[in-house]
Chain A
Amino acid sequence: MKIAVCVKEVPDTTAEKRIDPSTGRLVRDEGDRMLNEFDKYAVEEAVRLKEAGAADEVILISLGPEKAVESLRQGLAMGADRLVLVSDPAAVGSDYLGTAAALSKVLEETGAELALLGSEATDARSGVMAAALGEASGRAWVTSANSLAVSGGSITVERQSDDGVDTVEAPLPAVVSVTKAINEPRYPSLKGIMGAKKKPQDVKSLAEAGVDAAAVGEQGAKTKVVGVETPPARTAGQVVKDEGDGAQQILDFLIEKKIV
């Protein structure tokens, strides 16, 4: 079985970020970039399944700028076998629909029976891609897996739902997003990091990937940003030193704010 892991390059989570008001898009040339932290759990889970003999190849798939290869290589260093990155100026500005359409096409090309995703990306924070990809690819899909077992042609997942933790079974091929509870991602070894550079890293245009350009990028997007505002930053309120009455002062403040 092959496993595809959808990965994304995101801005460094410790850095301040901004949106360019003229384009409504994230400023991409600032600061450090990294593999989305949530994706590491999906990569780790895929690599563990391979190590356990349940999979024979782990393929990272992504849509993004060409230089994202450098961040995404971390997934190769963790043990994934190869990377397919669709990168094309015409894909810039893709919304969820466009991204799901492109990833679905690439997923199909890899022949992977299982697709794994992180539960969300640290930049967009929407957590919608697994369901969108599940629907776009016509596969069974399960989100927010705290655990994942593959057996025969099906998967068993413990998923974090709104009401608790549910056990869900689904047949392969499937799309699954994983939570941070599923594992503890490894740090790549030096050998892994060195080896990652030699693993196949295919950067494909939309045409090479067989993705319909009309479905992606700005031209395919069904949402458009019409304004970006920078609201005034929160400012410091009242700060008091606890002289034994700190708790009472908080209560008075909450009463004044009509919260309690």
Chain B
Amino acid sequence: MAGILVVAEPQGSGFRRVGLEILSKARELKDSTGGPLAAFVGGSGVADQAAQLGAYGAEKVFVADHEALGTGLAAPHVDVIAKLQQENDFSAILVGGTAQGRDTAAALAVRLGAGLNSDSTDLAAGGSGLQAVRPAFGGQNLVTSEWVGGPQIALVRPNSFQASESGGSAEVVAVTPDISEAALRAKMTARKPVEEGKVSLEEASIIVSGGRGLGAPENFAVVEALAASLGAAVGASRAAVDAGWYPHPNQVGQTGKTVSPNLYIACGISGAVQHKVGMQTSDVIVAINKDEEAPIFQFADFGVVGDLFDVVPKLTELINQRNG
């Protein structure tokens, strides 16, 4: 076993950033695993963009182009990656923690009888190859795990590493996708795309969230405007989601999503444990709340005690001015 395979998910004419983040990190790790740093690109109409990954350190890019690989359904990807693994015997397979990535890594681990360390926020050389670190209970503990045997499959949380170009070039290898009938049982028949410009919560590098302090569903417009000025995704606390003010997929917290953006701005969110465990691994936390006793001020890096309906629109205006 040798080498690392990074699964890089295409998006438009480029790639989801998490794949580039993992590739950038894998450049540091490849000395300990030996072998080449390879990437896998599976999708529909993606042959042309595969070479871009050379700039992020991929020495070899396996590209599989097939309609069934562009549906968001993971089973066809599992077939193709499992076959690549048989032929190349990688020591590690690293996958970004997107919806498709989670499904792919989980089913691939079962298929290969290989260990899966999920939700990794750090990877290091150690043990018999790699070690994976994941936060437990919203970062209250950091758990370091290894694998028993291989390949070592890890799911990596978006925003864990910095995507950086190294200026290399990759050999692109076209793979003939050999997809079983079993992997085609689930069929995507229609797609309602996300609205243009909307950023997914888990991948966003900035999140602006609203809570009970917004008081009414229409007031989320204030949060959305700030998010738009920053190119951020919009989150919501459980209180806001349970009240029906904002949809479930945007919920951050113990019973919603766990996020680790570079910047998290909490507007009118008290910061109870339920919310805290979903966002306390963010790099920088800013809170705006009118209650100076709100628990969020105990762990925010910068807090403003004030009326969010004054502060947030002003901040939006200032950022828009700065953006020109």
Residues of A within 8 A of B (CB): 13-19, 24, 26, 37-38, 95-97, 100, 122-132, 134-136, 138, 140-144, 159-171, 174, 179-181, 221-231, 233-242, 244, 246-251, 253-254, 257, 259-260
Which residues from 92 to 146 on chain B have a C-beta closer than 8 Å to any C-beta of chain A?
98-100, 102-107, 109-111, 113-119, 127, 131, 136-137, 139-146
29 intermolecular pairs with C-beta atoms under 8 Å apart: A16-B140, A95-B115, A96-B116, A97-B115, A97-B116, A125-B119, A131-B103, A131-B104, A162-B16, A162-B72, A162-B98, A164-B193, A166-B72, A167-B188, A181-B249, A224-B147, A226-B131, A231-B139, A235-B298, A236-B300, A237-B285, A237-B303, A239-B292, A239-B303, A247-B304, A247-B317, A249-B304, A260-B230, A260-B322
- Cross-interface CB contact of B106 among A14, A128, A174, A253, cutoff 8 Å: A128
CA distance A133 to B288 in the complex (A): 43
Q: With contacts defined as CB atoms under 8 Å apart, how many contacts are there between chain A and chain B in the complex?
A: 273
Return the 7 tightest CB-CB contacts between A and B, nearest first: A242-B306, A222-B115, A247-B314, A128-B106, A161-B72, A140-B185, A237-B301
Known: A16-B140, A19-B141, A251-B322. A240 touches B131 (CB 8 A): no
Given contacts A222-B115, A230-B141, contact A242 B307 (CB under 8 A): yes
Residue from A14, A17, A168 within 8 A of B137 (CB atoms): A17
Bound CA–CA A56/B193 (angstroms): 36
Instruction: Decide yes or no: A228 and B193 within 8 Å by CB, A166-B71, A169-B187 being known contacts.
Output: no
Q: List the A side residues contacting B176 at CB < 8 Å.
A: none
Does the CB pair B140–A222 fall under 8 Å?
no
Q: Is B24 an interface residue (CB 8 A)?
A: no
In chain B between 182 and 240, which residues have their CB closer than 8 angstroms to a CB of chain A? Answer: 182, 185-194, 200, 206, 230
Q: B163 at interface (Cβ–Cβ under 8 A)?
A: no
Q: Are A24 and B143 in contact (CB under 8 A)?
A: yes
Q: Is B47 an interface residue (CB 8 A)?
A: no
Q: Which residue of chain A has its CB nearest to the CB of B205? A: A259
Contact status B116-A230, CB under 8 Å: no
Asked whether B305 is an interface residue with its Cβ less than 8 Å from the other chain, the reply is yes
Give A232 to B271 CA distance when docked, in angstroms. Answer: 18
Given A96-B109, A181-B249, A226-B145, residue A163 in contact with residue B186 (CB < 8 A): no
Q: Is the beta-carbon distance between A13 and B274 smaller than 8 angstroms?
A: yes
**Interfacial chain B residues near A96, Cβ < 8 Å:** 106, 109-110, 116, 118
Interface contact B148-A135, CB-CB below 8 Å: no
Chain A residues with CB under 8 Å of B83's CB are: none
Q: Which of B73, B102, B247, B273 contacts A168 (CB 8 A)?
A: B73
Q: Are B187 and A170 in contact (CB under 8 A)?
A: yes
Which residues 278-297 of B have a CB within 8 angstroms of A? 280, 284-286, 288, 292, 297
A residues near B314, Cβ cutoff 8 Å: 246-248
Alpha-carbon separation in the docked complex, A259 to B208 (Å) = 14
A211: shortest Cβ distance to chain B, in Å? 15
Asked whether B143 lies within 8 Å of A227 as measured between CB atoms, the reply is: yes
Determine the distance from Cα of A100 to Cα of B258 in the docked complex, in whole angstroms: 23
The CA-CA distance from A223 to B188 in the complex, in Å, is 33
Provide the bound-state CA to CA distance between A179 and B241, in Å: 14
Complex CA–CA separation, A225 to B132 (angstroms): 9
- Pick the residue among B142, B200, B318 that contacts A247 (CB under 8 A): B318
Consensus secondary structure, chain A interface:
mixed
Tell whether, in the assembled complex, residue A231 and residue B300 are in contact, meaning their CB atoms are under 8 Å apart: no
Counting CB contacts under 8 A, is B255 at the interface? yes
Closest CB in chain A relative to B87 CB, distance in Å = 20
Whether A132 touches B109, Cβ cut-off 8 Å, given contacts A163-B191, A170-B185, A247-B315, is yes
Contact between chains at B189 and A169 (CB < 8 Å) = yes
Determine whether the beta carbon of A131 is less than 8 Å from that of B144. Answer: no
List chain A residues, Cβ under 8 A from B141. 18-19, 228-231
Contact between B185 and A163, CB atoms less than 8 A apart: no
With A164-B194, A223-B117 already in contact, 8 other A-B pairs whose C-beta atoms are closer than 8 Å: A14-B273, A161-B191, A166-B191, A222-B113, A231-B139, A240-B303, A254-B263, A260-B319
Chain B 32-79 interface residues, beta-carbon cutoff 8 Å to A: 71-75, 78
Assembled-state Cα–Cα distance A24/B182 (Å): 37
Q: Which residues of B have CB within 8 Å of A233?
A: 140, 299
Nearest residue, chain B, Cβ from A242: B306
Q: Which residue of A lies closest to B278 (CB)?
A: A125
- Contact: A221 with B109, CB < 8 Å? no
Compute how far the CA of A232 lies from the CA of B318 in the bound complex, rounded to whole angstroms.
34
Check if B110 sits within 8 Å of A163, measured CB to CB.
no
Name the CB-closest residue of A to B298.
Answer: A236
Min CB–CB distance A226 → chain B (angstroms): 5
